[in-house]
Structure 1
Amino acid sequence: MGSFSIWHWLIVLVVVLLLFGRGKIPELMGDMAKGIKSFKKGMAEDDEAPVDPRTVEHRVDETVEPGVKAKKS
């Protein structure tokens, strides 16, 4: 019951080749490699992204207490 013998692996290989065909497996691996490359590129672009200059700064003098309307200047 332990590990699989060489015959088990050969049967699995034959079944996989019958299901996917010889040309489909390299195509799937190529698509997977492209996906990994684009993921890495996207992660690198996220690290280099500039800080958004439109951030809002909170100042103490603009704090509005609950129930009190803010002054319009």
Structure 2
Amino acid sequence: MGGLSIWHWLIVLAVVLVLFGGGGKIPKLMRDMGQGITAFKKGLKEEKKDGESGPAIENADASAPKDKAAG
């Protein structure tokens, strides 16, 4: 009973972050993360619009020499 569980430590850490980090830093961090995800998705959509049918790995496999043992 004397030990603290992981949940107790997480709550203490959250309180310390809010007290010493300020209340505005956590929302700012989440907003930056959301903007990063949005930019990543936008980049993927633009890449497909450029006319590329797939990753470059597929095209490299077509030009790779065949194995002699495979027949």
TM-score strictly above 0.5: yes
Quote the Cα distance in structure 2 between the aligned partners of 1:43 and 1:20: 34
Task: For 1:33-48, list aligned pairs within 5 A.
Answer: 33-48=34-49
Q: After the TM superposition, list the runs of 4 or more consecutive aligned residues in structure 1 that deviate by more than 3 angstroms.
A: none
Larger RCO, structures 1/2 (Cα 8 Å, 6+ apart): 2
Q: TM-score, normalised by structure 1?
A: 0.54
| Offset from partner CA, 1:25-69 (integer Å, 9 cap, x none) | 111101110111011001110011036xxxxxxxxxxxxxxxxxx
Aligned partner of residue 50 in structure 1, secondary structure = coil
Q: Name stretches of at least 5 consecutive residues in structure 1 with no aligned partner.
A: 52-73
TM-score (norm 2): 0.55
Letter in 1 for 2:46: E
What percentage of aligned pairs have identical amino acids? 41
Question: What RMSD in Å do the two structures reach over aligned CA positions?
Answer: 2.1
Gaps of 5+ in 2: 53-71
Structure 2 letter corresponding to 1:7: H
Instruction: Find the residue that maps to 1:15 and give its secondary structure.
Output: helix
How many corresponding residue pairs?
A: 49
